[in-house]
Amino acid sequence: MSKNQAFNWPEYDESDPGHAALMGFLALDVQHDPKYINEIIAALGDIKMGKIEQWQGGGNAYFCELSLQGAQFETAYDVGEDEIPLVTLSDFEQAVLAWRKDCEIT
């Protein structure tokens, strides 16, 4: 990630709780781990092709569940939110691909 620029992707909406959770998931849990990034991209492809129904992943801060309905995020800590943030699969894919590019991982 550029040291002079904050990460975002073309459809990023800072007022969307799902986008905020996705940003946290990428920054805090996925980080710059090429193996994890590529695992997520492979799972996205498998979901879109119908090979799997869902994928789950997480780390120290977030738990993410992917399905055709989108990406849902739960925090590993209580933040007092009743609603679980949801991001469309398309937005999730755009963000992960942008994250991979920003991390310079192929």
Residue 4: predicted pLDDT:
37
pLDDT score recorded for residue 1: 44
Please report how many Cα atoms fall inside a 13 Å half-sphere around the Cα of residue 90, on the Cβ side: 2
Contact 86, 70 (CB under 8 A): yes
pTM of the complete model: 0.85
Residues 73, 2: Cα–Cα separation, whole Å: 26
Q: Are 18 and 94 in contact (CB under 8 A)?
A: no
Q: Are 85 and 79 in contact (CB under 8 A)?
A: no
pLDDT digits (tens, 9 = 90+) for 54-95: 999 988 899 999 999 999 998 877 656 667 789 999 999 999
Residue with tokens 């992917």, as numbered in its chain: 66
